[in-house]
Amino acid sequence: MRRGFVICCARMKKIVILDFGSQYTQVIARRVRECQVYSEILPYTTPVSALASGEIRGMILSGGPASVYASRAPHPDPGIFDLGVPVLGICYGMQLMAHHLGGRVASGAKREYGHGILDRAPGCALFSGLPRRLKVWNSHGDMLTRFPRGFRSVARTENSEHAAIEHRQKRLFGLQFHPEVHHTPRGREILENFVLRICGCERSWTMRSFIEAACAGIRNRVGHGNVILGLSGGVDSSVAAALLHRAIGRQLTCVFVNNGLLRKNEPEGVRQLFSRNFKVRLKCIDANRRFLEKLRGVVDPERKRKIIGHEFIRVFENAAAELRGTHQFLAQGTLYPDVIESISIGNNPAALIKSHHNVGGLPKRMKFKLVEPLRQLFKDEVRKVGEQLGLPREVVWRQPFPGPGLAVRCLGPVTPEKLRILRDADWVVIDEMKRSGWYYKVWQSFAVLLPVRSVGVMGDERTYDFTIAVRAVESQDAMTADWVRLPDDLISRISTRIINEVKGVNRVVYDVTSKPPGTIEWE
């Protein structure tokens, strides 16, 4: 994997999360940061020598899909339990702890998935200030049948006598349930107890402190070199541009590429917005025909992403060559969720879901060194950084837009006519969401053009036109999402306007799929 520049937080007191392939690993990191404590995810293969740092105040072992007894089950360096820092094992992480320290794990007679009731014993610091009975979220088939020497059981559920364990002297804790998910209502308080009370961390992770560290890190990385940044007008690239500009000023050149895959009026809007709000060197390139020619006849979404990523770099290399001076660095607004869905971090056994334009679509050989100042941030943290940097609300709170643009919302081959249909339909969705006040209430809302034609009747005439799917989801970090129950009258207005105003569409459907099992984008 090509790694871009990451803000160095080595001197900051932190909680380390060892990743064993859980879909919730990034959520754990985010919950720790909500405590205003810096968290860092490391692969489960990290040697204990790399963890013996005074900056690490505690460790969390994530869940994972494996069984501790499986032949290829991921196991950590057993020395982590002798480092003297508090350790919290969650689900598979708890089973690993018990297994390595002399306990016993076995396949449960009954699996526990979904909601459960936890009855806790008094005296455990993890549950300080919480009621004796708690609603929790389970997701496991194996369970602890005998805890290791020195441990005690501090909570149970209907099917598990040892749903939580602790070794008070060594400050080792295990939870069979998932405190990080929102389905465990008091889970955040459990994690706060671990991070703040047990590990003794201070609330020092703020976006103001991040900006200071990021600017210093960027200056150290770039030196007197020049940086080129693709500016799309979305939240991520805009915040990255503002952060880089604060750090290195005129050493930054922003390039806006019209690849023909943008939303309606996007090129004009970006130029107008940034001429008013930024004093940044801005170069605009019209590469519409170039991208569409490369995408002609391509159906597979992964090929689309790869083509767009490769062509994007080529356009940038040409732009850099035309600019006076040398541009050694390429900046991107890559975020944490982009990374976790695209690759398995450090031998993480989690499966690949899809590649992202920012991290999976770049060619192996390119002339630039990467600078990714937002790579360690979640979307909500990026928005806070944008606010701190003084960006306007319409930029900071703009809904996410995929790097490959409308290409991954136009299912099947991409053509100018299909893009015209999708662009017009998407504009109706955005307009109605803003008019109704729902735009800033949801994570994303957009239109998808399906490769499906159906018979319709319009003006007493038979039609055979395309179908538009409307998608609206609510989420906090894009790792999980639920479809939004928009008011019936709003859905009706969106549907009526699309059919009346967008030539080539005679049917509108509403997507009621959550993530998982689906993804937010259709491709």
- b/e code 89-126 from CB counts within 10 Å (16+ = b): bbbbbbbbbbbbbebebeebeeebeeebebebeeebeb
Residue 496: CB atoms within 10 A of its CB come to 13
- The whole-angstrom separation of Cα 354 and Cα 343 is 8
Structure tokens at 20: 């064993």
- The whole-angstrom separation of Cα 159 and Cα 117 is 10
Q: Which of 162, 167, 178, 357 is catalytic?
A: 178
- Contact partners, residue 162, CB within 8 Å, separation at least 6: 143, 144, 145, 147, 153, 156, 176
The tally of CA atoms less than 13 A away on the side-chain side of residue 180 is 30
Instruction: Specify the DSSP element, H or E, that contains 319.
Output: helix 301-322
Q: Which of 166, 180, 192, 266 is catalytic?
A: 180
34 in active site = no
91 in active site = yes
Task: Give the closest residue to 401 by CA, choosing from 444, 361, 453.
Answer: 444
Structure tokens at 514: 């959550």
- The whole-angstrom separation of Cα 150 and Cα 138 is 25
Instruction: Specify the DSSP element, H or E, that contains 360.
Output: helix 357-360
521 in active site = no
- The whole-angstrom separation of Cα 351 and Cα 344 is 7
Residue 430: CB atoms within 10 A of its CB come to 18
Collapsing DSSP to helix, strand or coil, 400 comes out as coil
Q: Which of 9, 34, 35, 91 is catalytic?
A: 91
The answer to whether 15 and 37 have CB atoms below 8 angstroms apart is yes
Please provide the DSSP assignment of 202-247 as one string: -S---HHHHHHHHHHHHHHHHTT--EEEE--SSHHHHHHHHHHHHH
- b/e code 166-199 from CB counts within 10 Å (16+ = b): bbeebbbbbbbbbbbbebbebbbbbbbbbbeebb
Task: Give the closest residue to 296 by CA, choosing from 403, 402, 406, 407.
Answer: 407
- Contact partners, residue 460, CB within 8 Å, separation at least 6: none
Pair type for strands 281-286 and 252-258: parallel
Q: Is the peptide bond before 337 cis (omega within 30 degrees of 0)?
A: no
Pair type for strands 329-331 and 281-286: unpaired
What are phi and psi for residue 145, nearest 5 degrees? -105, -20
User: Among the residues of 132-203, which ranges form H helices?
Assistant: 187-192
Please provide the DSSP assignment of 412-440 as one string: SS--HHHHHHHHHHHHHHHHHHHHHT-GG
Residue 384: CB atoms within 10 A of its CB come to 19
Q: Residues with catalytic annotation?
A: 91, 178, 180
